[in-house]
């Protein structure tokens, strides 16, 4: 059973102030989870979670994570600038980018972020961007190639992924970087996405720990941290068993004791860059049913669309839906729940069994707290909706306003049409 973290009454109370659709975030849930993550890795004194900013770049949310000593995992200039503006220091900013523009390395270096190189050919490029001198602490991203499998059948294909360096390249990269003055190193890898199993981090960690031992032998590099990156999933579907971060932390601990400690590498810090696990369950889209349509199938049209939450449209991703106020009603109607985009993939659910939906009902689309708002786009001239933070005491506040037509038109401001558009939007 998946339960919405707000009631219909609360959702209507919010909607009376901030019209639907909107994102709502559960502050209590995200705080408890951040605490649990910290606790799960407390055995490692240097542990730090660098939240993947791309999953949810809202400054209010990042500020909450800051209270738990989280760092920020950035992959673009904008994400770096937001982190800097929130007063994260360099040690709390990881720059894990790929296909990185020159200016972004330069900026990351300027603010003292830890740069995680995606490729061996970036060494010289990054050195130039850093004004001719690489930072003292750097990281390299590893891609072992082949197929990564877990015992429950979860599979991913690092060999097809554009990220990271081969085994030979990473040793070579360390040597080159050492010759250029880099003193402390990290290893990073991201081998499988949204893994709903407690096994993933432990298995990845054992691979990376062995690699660390080998790299130290081969290159003499001083390895300071191992970054397990993201990939820890959440139970989007009601029949899935959620990951238990305490078990995951213990699995990593076990292989740390087995591999790193005997090798005398017992001072290595464990870093993570979780996005989804940190935030997905604690955000939802609240949207109102505005149309019903009876043709070859039964459709419910809502006031949100794929421009607000793109995952179902682009990945066919499942997002659970609760019809607020009808939590206990029988799911005896089968619907496609659609948005308004002129794209047939704009469906939040297909053939979904739900309670009978009446016009005006509020739908709670679960697990949209990560890769939700941030993936939104403006296709069809649809605008980003507002984001609302719900506190433990039931109070709520706007943490990002909805876009307005003038936001959309802002990039026409050098052209005559802008004034005409402005005139259309005078209230």
Ligand X SMILES: *Cc1c(COP(=O)(O)O)cnc(C)c1O
Cβ 190 to ligand X, closest distance in Å?
5
**Residue with Cβ nearer ligand X (91 or 331):** 91
Sole binder of ligand X in the list 80, 126, 245, 370 (CB under 6 A): 370
Sole binder of ligand X in the list 231, 249, 301, 376 (CB under 6 A): 231
Sole binder of ligand X in the list 57, 158, 202, 230 (CB under 6 A): 230
| 311 SS3 class | helix
Instruction: Verify binding: residue 129, ligand X, rule CB under 6 A.
Output: no
Instruction: Verify binding: residue 191, ligand X, rule CB under 6 A.
Output: no
Cβ 9 to ligand X, closest distance in Å?
32
User: Taking a C-beta distance cutoff of 8 angstroms, is the pair 43, 248 a contact?
Assistant: no
Cβ 271 to ligand X, closest distance in Å?
10
| H, E, C per residue of 43-67 | CCCCCEEEEEHHHCCCHHHHHHHHC
Sole binder of ligand X in the list 26, 49, 73, 387 (CB under 6 A): 73
| Core vs surface per residue 319-338: b (16+ CB within 10 A) or e | bbbbbbebeeeeeeeebbbb
User: Taking a C-beta distance cutoff of 8 angstroms, is the pair 240, 319 a contact?
Assistant: no
Cβ 273 to ligand X, closest distance in Å?
4
Instruction: Verify binding: residue 156, ligand X, rule CB under 6 A.
Output: no
Size of the residue set binding ligand X (CB under 6 A): 19
> Distance between the two ends of the chain, CA-based, in angstroms?
45
Instruction: Verify binding: residue 76, ligand X, rule CB under 6 A.
Output: no
Instruction: Verify binding: residue 44, ligand X, rule CB under 6 A.
Output: no
Sole binder of ligand X in the list 52, 304, 385, 389 (CB under 6 A): 52
State how far the alpha carbon of 303 is from the alpha carbons of 20, 148, 185, 359, in Å: 7, 40, 49, 11
Tokens encoding 133: 């001198």
Cβ 193 to ligand X, closest distance in Å?
6
What is the distance of C-alpha 46 from the center of its chain? 22
Sole binder of ligand X in the list 66, 122, 216, 276 (CB under 6 A): 276
CA dist., res. 51 & res. 62, Å (int): 8
Residue 401 is classified by DSSP as: P
Q: Which helix H or strand E contains 22, and what residues bound it?
A: strand 22-26
**Residue with Cβ nearer ligand X (228 or 357):** 228
Sole binder of ligand X in the list 190, 364, 396, 409 (CB under 6 A): 190
Sole binder of ligand X in the list 54, 203, 347, 382 (CB under 6 A): 54
Tokens encoding 287: 């949207």
Instruction: Verify binding: residue 142, ligand X, rule CB under 6 A.
Output: no
Instruction: Verify binding: residue 282, ligand X, rule CB under 6 A.
Output: no
Instruction: Verify binding: residue 326, ligand X, rule CB under 6 A.
Output: no
**Residue with Cβ nearer ligand X (193 or 340):** 193
- List residues bridging with 184 in a β-sheet: 137, 222
Burial of 246 (0-12, 13-18, 19+ CB in 10 A): middle
Q: Which residues contact 163 (CB under 8 A, 6 or more apart)?
A: 98, 118, 141, 143, 190
Instruction: Verify binding: residue 229, ligand X, rule CB under 6 A.
Output: yes
Sole binder of ligand X in the list 7, 76, 193, 240 (CB under 6 A): 193
**Residue with Cβ nearer ligand X (6 or 52):** 52
User: Taking a C-beta distance cutoff of 8 angstroms, is the pair 335, 296 a contact?
Assistant: no
Instruction: Verify binding: residue 273, ligand X, rule CB under 6 A.
Output: yes
**Residue with Cβ nearer ligand X (49 or 303):** 49
- List residues bridging with 397 in a β-sheet: 389
Instruction: Verify binding: residue 283, ligand X, rule CB under 6 A.
Output: no
**Residue with Cβ nearer ligand X (196 or 265):** 196
Instruction: Verify binding: residue 251, ligand X, rule CB under 6 A.
Output: no
- List residues bridging with 287 in a β-sheet: 363
**Residue with Cβ nearer ligand X (202 or 275):** 275
Please state, as a whole number, how many other Cβ atoms lie within 10 Å of the Cβ of residue 149.
12
CA dist., res. 374 & res. 376, Å (int): 5
Instruction: Verify binding: residue 319, ligand X, rule CB under 6 A.
Output: no
Cβ 261 to ligand X, closest distance in Å?
26
**Max intra-chain CA distance, the chain:** 72
Instruction: Verify binding: residue 48, ligand X, rule CB under 6 A.
Output: no
Give me the residues that bind ligand X (CB under 6 A), please. Answer: 52, 54-55, 73, 75, 96, 190, 193-194, 229-232, 273-277, 370
């Amino acid at each position: 059973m998946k339960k919405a973290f707000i009631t219909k009454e609360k959702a209507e109370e919010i909607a009376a102030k901030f019209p639907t659709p909107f994102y709502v975030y559960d502050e209590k849930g995200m705080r408890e989870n951040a605490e649990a993550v910290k606790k799960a890795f407390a055995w490692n004194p240097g542990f730090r979670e660098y939240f993947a900013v791309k999953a949810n770049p809202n400054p209010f949310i990042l500020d909450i994570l800051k209270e738990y000593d989280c760092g920020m995992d950035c992959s673009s200039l904008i994400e770096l600038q937001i982190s800097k503006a929130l007063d994260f220091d360099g040690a709390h900013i990881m720059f894990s980018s790929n296909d990185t523009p020159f200016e972004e390395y330069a900026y990351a270096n300027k603010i003292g972020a830890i740069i995680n190189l995606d490729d061996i050919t970036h060494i010289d490029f990054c050195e130039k961007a850093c004004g001719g001198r690489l930072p003292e602490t750097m990281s390299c991203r590893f891609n072992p190639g082949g197929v990564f499998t877990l015992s429950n059948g979860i599979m991913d294909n690092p060999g097809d992924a554009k990220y990271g360096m081969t085994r030979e390249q990473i040793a070579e990269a360390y040597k080159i970087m050492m010759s250029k003055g880099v003193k402390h190193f990290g290893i990073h890898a991201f081998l499988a996405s949204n893994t709903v199993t407690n096994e993933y981090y432990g298995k990845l960690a054992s691979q990376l720990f062995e690699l660390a031992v080998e790299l130290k032998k081969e290159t003499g590099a001083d390895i300071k941290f191992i970054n397990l990156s993201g990939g820890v999933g959440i139970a989007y579907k009601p029949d899935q068993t959620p990951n238990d971060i305490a078990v995951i932390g213990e699995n990593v601990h076990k292989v740390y004791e087995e591999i790193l400690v005997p090798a005398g590498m017992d001072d290595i810090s464990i870093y993570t860059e979780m996005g989804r696990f940190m935030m997905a369950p604690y955000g939802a889209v609240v949207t109102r049913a505005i149309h019903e349509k009876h043709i070859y199938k039964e459709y419910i049209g809502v006031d949100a669309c794929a421009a607000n939450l793109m995952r179902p449209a682009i990945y066919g991703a499942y997002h659970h839906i609760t019809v607020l106020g009808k939590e206990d009603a029988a799911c005896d109607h089968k619907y496609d729940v659609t948005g308004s985009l002129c794209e047939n993939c704009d469906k939040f659910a297909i053939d979904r069994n739900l309670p009978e939906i009446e016009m005006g009902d509020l739908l709670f689309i679960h697990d949209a707290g990560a890769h939700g708002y941030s993936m939104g786009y403006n296709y069809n001239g649809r605008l980003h909706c507002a984001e609302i933070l719900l506190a433990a005491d039931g109070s709520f506040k706007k943490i990002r306003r909805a876009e307005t037509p003038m936001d959309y038109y802002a990039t026409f401001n050098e052209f005559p049409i802008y004034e005409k558009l402005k005139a259309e939007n005078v209230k």
